[in-house]
Amino acid sequence: MAQSNCGKLSLVTGASTGIGLELAKCCARDRMDLVIVADEPQIQDIAAELRALGAAKVEAIEADLSNERGVDKLIAVVGNRPVEHLIANAGRSLGDAFLDQYWQAARHVADTNVIGTIYLIHALGRRMRDAGHGRILITGSSAGFMPGRRQAVYNGTKAFLDSFACALREELKDTGVTVTCLMPGATETEFFNRADMMDTEVGAEEKMDPADVARQGYDAMMAGKGQLITGWKNKMQATMSHMIPAGQLARRQARQTVPGMLKH
């Protein structure tokens, strides 16, 4: 018989919108207790929605996960409770060419996607390993397979996470803790708007439904799978990326992220 997840603690970062919100809904429907986190006050409104779906307890935290102070705030809220599901999903991007970006904005992308994410996993992952069970889900991206013009920092951070997740999974393989990397392709969320990319081909094209993406990632995490690339197009791209030189991949991807290149 499948083990009940009722009352187990799940932590979801970036749960206010998009894929993270949908991942939190999957947890709520399975009646888990939830700690949800995002940077803006909107996260407070999400708690009631998740309770209505079945979560017994939901704590909503506002914290900037790009720095250790924000992550420490989150860890303090968790306290000594064992975390069963750690869903490290918060992330952001930024359009524009690297040298035309403000340094602080570019750094915020790298700090959120990489430093904040691995700092959180370092702190809570140790506890999960000591407890001898738990599931970690990291939202990487199929963008991690290719260098991205006007997405140089973002794609680099996702290449890091895709690789990191795989390595951590191997390190934890005999501990009872599994690591799953969710690698979505373009998904219909606030992501492109926030990155100021709505006038690019990838910003404007039809994208995957975040609820479908999250469900696939959630199921993969619960099954203890290593990685999940969403959508057949993205799976094909991932396969091709192992055969095509990086320079060619960057050129192919470039037209998707250049403003004013919308398909008519």
Please, what is the minimum distance in Å from the beta carbon of residue 242 to ligand NAP? 19
Q: Which of 29, 194, 225, 235 binds ligand NAP (CB under 6 A)?
A: 194
227: nearest Cα among 119, 159, 147, 140:
140
Can residue 118 be called a binding residue for ligand NAP (CB under 6 A)?
no
Instruction: Look up residue 93 and give its two tokens.
Output: 């991007």
Instruction: Look up residue 200 and give its two tokens.
Output: 């690019």
CA distance to 51, 97, 152, 176, 260, per residue, from 13 (Å): 17, 27, 23, 22, 33
For ligand NAP, the closer CB: 29 or 194: 194
Please, what is the minimum distance in Å from the beta carbon of residue 189 to ligand NAP? 3
Q: Which of 141, 151, 155, 200 binds ligand NAP (CB under 6 A)?
A: 141
Instruction: Look up residue 199 and give its two tokens.
Output: 């006038």
Distance CA 243, CA 240 (A): 5
Please, what is the minimum distance in Å from the beta carbon of residue 19 to ligand NAP? 4
**115-135 b/e with 16+ CB inside 10 Å = b?**
bbbbbbbebbbebbeeeeebb
One character per residue 15-54, x = contact with ligand NAP (rule: CB under 6 A): xxxxxx-----------------xxx--------------
**Burial of 169 per CB tally in 10 Å (0-12, 13-18, 19+):** buried
Please, what is the minimum distance in Å from the beta carbon of residue 188 to ligand NAP? 7
Beta bridge partners of 59: 35
Residue 18 CB neighbour total at 10 angstroms: 22
Stretch that binds ligand NAP, among 49-57, 98-106, 190-198, 218-226 (CB under 6 A): 190-198
Can residue 112 be called a binding residue for ligand NAP (CB under 6 A)?
yes
Please, what is the minimum distance in Å from the beta carbon of residue 148 to ligand NAP? 11
For ligand NAP, the closer CB: 49 or 131: 49
Amino acid at 211: A
Beta bridge partners of 136: 86, 179
For ligand NAP, the closer CB: 107 or 194: 194
Can residue 215 be called a binding residue for ligand NAP (CB under 6 A)?
no
One character per residue 86-105, x = contact with ligand NAP (rule: CB under 6 A): ---xxxx-------------
Q: What angle do CA 48, 210, 177 make, to 5 degrees?
A: 80
**Which residues contact ligand NAP by CB under 6 A?**
14-20, 38-40, 64-66, 89-92, 112, 139, 141, 184, 186-187, 189-191, 194
